[in-house]
């Protein structure tokens, strides 16, 4: 259970970081008080649906001026969508190979960060 709590904390932090620093084209910003506002678009592997839905709900409850839009599909399908121009502020892949495809194509704004592992 402790591992799950850590993962939730890290994911909330990731969403918060995106809200504060996104440069991928969405209308996301931070106001003068440091409170995130705007829209965040998250593309995540279908296996992360429950976790990311809970995280998005919690993030929007804590930041009412922010809207999180979730797109769940197979990681390979999400990489294709992003490669075709679909706007994504955060991409959470279920594996490293699809993340590598995304970065090899130059479709990332920052370096990838591993936030969880399967045991």
Name the percent of the chain lying above pLDDT 90: 55
Q: How far apart are CA 66 and CA 116, in angstroms?
A: 25
Q: How far apart are CA 7 and CA 98, in angstroms?
A: 21
Q: Give domain limits for the chain.
A: 2-104
User: What pLDDT shows up at residue 88?
Assistant: 94
Instruction: State the CATH class of domain 2-104.
Output: alpha beta
CB 56 within 8 A of CB 70: yes
User: What pLDDT shows up at residue 65?
Assistant: 93
User: What pLDDT shows up at residue 30?
Assistant: 53
Burial class (CB in 10 A: 0-12, 13-18, 19+), 52: buried
CB 15 within 8 A of CB 90: yes
pTM above 0.75, yes or no: no
Helices (H) and strands (E) in the chain, counts: 4, 4
């Amino acid at each position: 259970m402790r591992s799950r709590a850590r993962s939730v904390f890290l994911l909330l932090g990731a969403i918060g970081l995106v809200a504060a620093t996104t440069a991928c084209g969405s209308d996301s910003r931070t106001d003068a008080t440091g409170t995130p506002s705007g829209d965040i678009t998250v593309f995540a592997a279908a296996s992360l649906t429950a976790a990311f839905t809970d995280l998005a709900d919690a993030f929007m409850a804590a930041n009412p001026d922010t809207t999180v839009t979730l797109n769940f599909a197979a990681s390979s399908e999400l990489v294709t969508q992003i490669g075709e121009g679909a706007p994504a502020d955060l991409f959470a892949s279920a594996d490293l190979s699809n993340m590598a495809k995304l970065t090899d194509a130059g479709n990332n704004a920052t370096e990838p960060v591993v936030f969880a592992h399967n045991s």
